[in-house]
Amino acid sequence: MSGQEVLVVQHAAWEGPGLVGRALEARGIPWRSVTLVDKVAPEVPDIASLAGLVAMGGAMGALDDAQHPGLAAERQLLAASTEAGVPVLGVCLGMQLLAVSLGGTLHSGAGREVGFGPVALTGAGIRDPYLYPLCVDATPDPSVVHWHSDAVDAPPGATVLASSVQTPVQAFRAGSAVGMQFHLELDHPMLRTWMDQPDMAADLQAGEAERLAEDAAARFPSLVPRALVCFSAFAEAVESWRG
């Protein structure tokens, strides 16, 4: 891969790549993290230097440019990387930024989803290398972690991979780019870090912290290994892209 690395764009210190980073490291793929969100004129890397691009979650809206001026540059980077065929992965806010950058519509405050809940994989989702490992016992409705209130329409030409009753577009693919509204990158240590953050804890309603902890104890032993297989598919795409 000749010096190229995966760029991980973070919007909060605690919302790092998690299992995405672990999957990349398992294949010996270098990655680094940057924060662009609040910079008026962020230094955006040349796409030719990227082996892949990952955009993580955050509390702001995908179009909150007035408060977070770096979002505009991030959307441009996401769109240009997708157009160039770079493997791109967007998670939660990262998915929303990706969708908007490709012509999708943002729906602010569309409906709150916090905690474990099922997503229904579409036929395309079941066949997609990033999502098929989530299927267990032939069911296309894996339970994953949600933490959002905004939603997006899939961008023109994209394929919807997963949905939920509350959020019709839970995952989509547009060429080399995949967006996931849910938080597949989490494991026990990362979730505990989230719960220790005052901003995250303040976002929870009565009883939700306890339910999250109980559901994580029951579901992570099965979900984390499958998530690593999902992100290994992204790592494989990175290897194939840059050779």
Q: Report pLDDT digits (tens) over 160-190.
A: 999 999 999 999 999 999 999 999 999 999 9
The active-site residue, picked from 68, 92, 113, 148, is 92
Lookup: tokens for 57? 């979650």
Other C-beta atoms closer than 10 Å to the C-beta of 22 total 17
Band of pLDDT at residue 2, cut at 50, 70 and 90: very low
The active-site residue, picked from 11, 146, 185, 230, is 185
183 as an active site residue: the answer is yes
Q: To which residue do tokens 């916090």 refer?
A: 114
Cα angle: 44, vertex 46, 50; to 5 degrees: 105
Q: Could you please report the per-residue DSSP string of 174-209?
A: ETTEEEESS-TT--HHHHHHHHTSHHHHHTPPTTHH
Distance CA(36)–CA(184), nearest Å, equals: 23
The active-site residue, picked from 113, 146, 183, 230, is 183
Mean pLDDT of 204-223: 92
Q: Which of 90, 52, 88 is nearest to 171 (CA)?
A: 90
Mean pLDDT of 91-118: 96
Q: What is the pLDDT of residue 61?
A: 95
Lookup: tokens for 154? 């899939």
pTM given for the model? 0.95
Cα angle: 7, vertex 37, 170; to 5 degrees: 70
92 as an active site residue: the answer is yes
Distance CA(79)–CA(101), nearest Å, equals: 5
Per-residue pLDDT for 1 more than 50? no
Per-residue pLDDT for 47 more than 80? yes
Domains of the chain: 5-242 (3.40.50.880)
Mean pLDDT of the chain: 93
Q: What is the pLDDT of residue 234?
A: 98
Distance CA(52)–CA(67), nearest Å, equals: 27
CA dihedral 110, 112, 117, 121 (to 10 degrees): 10
Q: Which helix (H) or strand (E) element contains residue 207?
A: none
